[in-house]
Chains A and B, each alone.
Chain A
Amino acid sequence: MRRVGISQSRQSFWSKLWALDWALIILIVMVACIGFIALYSAAEGSFSPWASKQMARFAVAFAGMIVIAIIDIKWWFRFTWLFYVVGLVLLLIVEIMGHIGMGAQRWINLGFMQLQPSELMKIVVVMALARYFHSATLEDMRRITFLIIPLVIILLPVGLVMLQPDLGTSIMILMVGGVMYFVAGASIWIFIAGIAAVLGAIPIGWHFMHEYQQKRVLTFLNPESDPLGAGYHITQSKIALGSGGISGRGFLEGTQSRLNFLPEKQTDFIFTLWAEEHGLFGGALLLGLFGLIFLYCFIISLRCRQNYSRYLALGLSVNISLYVILNIAMVMGLIPVVGIPLPLISYGGTSMVAALICFGLMMSCSMHYDSKVAH
Chain B
Amino acid sequence: MNKEKDHVKVFTRRAFVVVGAQGALLGVLGARLAWLQISEGPRYRTLSDKNRINIKIQAPARGHIVDRFGAPLAVNNPNFRALIIPEQAQSVEQSLRALQKIIDFSEKELQDVLKQAKKSAKFIPVEVMDDLSWDDVTKIEVNLPDLPGLSTQVGERRSYPFGEATAHLVGYVGAVSKSEIGEDPLLRQPGFQIGKSGLEKRFDSVLRGESGTSEVEVNVVGREVRELKNQPSNQGGRITLTIDGELQRFAQNRLSQERSASAIVMDAITGAVYALSSVPAFDPNAFNGGIALSLWEELLANPAHPLTNKAVAGLYPPASTFKMITAMAGMKAGLVDPSRTVYCKGYYEFGNGRFHCWKKGGHGYVDVRHAILYSCDTFFYDLATKVGIERIAEMARAFGLGSKLGFELDEERSGLVPDPKWKKGKTGKSWMPGETIIVSIGQGYLQVTPLQLAVMTARLVNGGRAVKPWVTAGGLADNRMPETGWPLMDIDPAHLAIVKEGMDMVVNEPGGTAYGSRIKEPELAMGGKTGTAQVQRITMAQRAANVKNEDLSWEQRHHALFVGYAPIYNPRYVCAVVVDHGIGGSRTAAPIARDLLTEVQRRNPAESIIHFEDQGAGNGAAAPGSGAI
Residue numbers of A with Cβ under 8 A of B are 137-139, 179, 182-185, 236, 238-246, 255-256, 258-261, 275, 279-280, 283-284, 287, 290-291, 294-295, 298, 301-302, 307, 310-311, 314, 317-318, 321, 324-325, 328-329, 332, 334
User: Is the C-beta of B25 less than 8 angstroms from some C-beta in chain A?
Assistant: yes
**Given A275-B33, A321-B22, A325-B29, A240–B48 Cβ distance below 8 Å?**
yes
Contact of A242 among B18, B41, B217, B218 (CB under 8 A): B41
Closest-CB distance, B124 to chain A (whole angstroms): 16
**Given A184-B11, A243-B45, A255-B48, A138–B37 Cβ distance below 8 Å?**
no
User: Is the C-beta of B142 less than 8 angstroms from some C-beta in chain A?
Assistant: no
By a CB distance below 8 angstroms, the chain B residues around A328 are 29
Q: Is the CB of A242 within 8 A of B36?
A: yes
Residue numbers of B with Cβ under 8 A of A are 3-4, 6-7, 10-12, 14-15, 17-19, 22-23, 25-26, 28-30, 32-34, 36-38, 40-41, 43-45, 47-49, 51-52, 217-221, 225
5 A-B residue pairs with CB within 8 Å: A179-B18, A242-B47, A280-B38, A290-B26, A302-B15
Q: How many A-B residue pairs have CB under 8 A?
A: 147
In the complex the two chains form, what is the Cα distance from A138 to B2 in whole Å? 11
Q: Is the CB of A239 within 8 A of B47?
A: yes
By a CB distance below 8 angstroms, the chain B residues around A261 are 48, 51-52, 219-220
Q: Is the CB of B44 within 8 A of A238?
A: yes
**Given A243-B47, A284-B33, A138–B38 Cβ distance below 8 Å?**
no
CB closest chain-B residue, reference A293: B22
Q: Is the CB of A259 within 8 A of B23?
A: no
**Given A259-B218, A290-B26, A239–B41 Cβ distance below 8 Å?**
no
CB closest chain-A residue, reference B29: A328
Q: Is the CB of A138 within 8 A of B7?
A: yes
Contact of A287 among B12, B26, B45 (CB under 8 A): B26
**Given A138-B7, A283-B37, A332-B36, A242–B26 Cβ distance below 8 Å?**
no
**Given A138-B3, A184-B11, A259-B52, A242–B29 Cβ distance below 8 Å?**
no
Closest-CB distance, A343 to chain B (whole angstroms): 13
Contact residues of A: prevailing secondary structure: helix
Known: A298-B15, A332-B29. 11 other contacts (CB 8 A): A182-B14, A239-B44, A239-B48, A242-B43, A256-B48, A256-B52, A259-B217, A259-B220, A301-B15, A307-B7, A325-B22
Q: Is the CB of A245 within 8 A of B37?
A: yes
Q: Is the CB of A245 within 8 A of B38?
A: yes
Q: Is the CB of B26 within 8 A of A280?
A: no
**Given A242-B45, A243-B44, A287-B30, A314–B15 Cβ distance below 8 Å?**
yes
By a CB distance below 8 angstroms, the chain B residues around A137 are 3-4, 7
CB closest chain-A residue, reference B221: A260
**Given A245-B41, A261-B52, A294–B221 Cβ distance below 8 Å?**
no
In the complex the two chains form, what is the Cα distance from A183 to B9 in whole Å? 10
By a CB distance below 8 angstroms, the chain A residues around B217 are 255, 259
In the complex the two chains form, what is the Cα distance from A246 to B34 in whole Å? 8
Q: Is the CB of B37 within 8 A of A242?
A: yes
In the complex the two chains form, what is the Cα distance from A55 to B562 in whole Å? 96
CB closest chain-B residue, reference A334: B32
In the complex the two chains form, what is the Cα distance from A328 to B4 in whole Å? 38
Contact of A275 among B7, B26, B37, B219 (CB under 8 A): B37
Contact of B25 among A255, A298, A325 (CB under 8 A): A325
Contact of B41 among A246, A283, A290, A294 (CB under 8 A): A246
By a CB distance below 8 angstroms, the chain A residues around B28 are 334
In the complex the two chains form, what is the Cα distance from A294 to B26 in whole Å? 10
By a CB distance below 8 angstroms, the chain A residues around B51 are 236, 239, 255-256, 259, 261
By a CB distance below 8 angstroms, the chain B residues around A139 are 3
Contact of B37 among A241, A255, A260, A318 (CB under 8 A): A241
Contact of B33 among A241, A243, A259 (CB under 8 A): A241
**Given A260-B220, A280-B33, A302-B15, A294–B43 Cβ distance below 8 Å?**
no
In the complex the two chains form, what is the Cα distance from A360 to B389 in whole Å? 116
By a CB distance below 8 angstroms, the chain A residues around B22 are 291, 294, 298, 317-318, 321, 325
Contact of B40 among A240, A242, A324 (CB under 8 A): A242
CB closest chain-B residue, reference A328: B29
By a CB distance below 8 angstroms, the chain B residues around A179 are 18
By a CB distance below 8 angstroms, the chain B residues around A256 are 48, 51-52
Closest-CB distance, A292 to chain B (whole angstroms): 10
Q: Is the CB of B44 within 8 A of A183?
A: no
Q: Is the CB of B18 within 8 A of A259?
A: no
CB closest chain-A residue, reference B6: A138
By a CB distance below 8 angstroms, the chain B residues around A244 are 37, 41
Contact of B29 among A138, A287, A298 (CB under 8 A): A287
By a CB distance below 8 angstroms, the chain A residues around B221 are 260
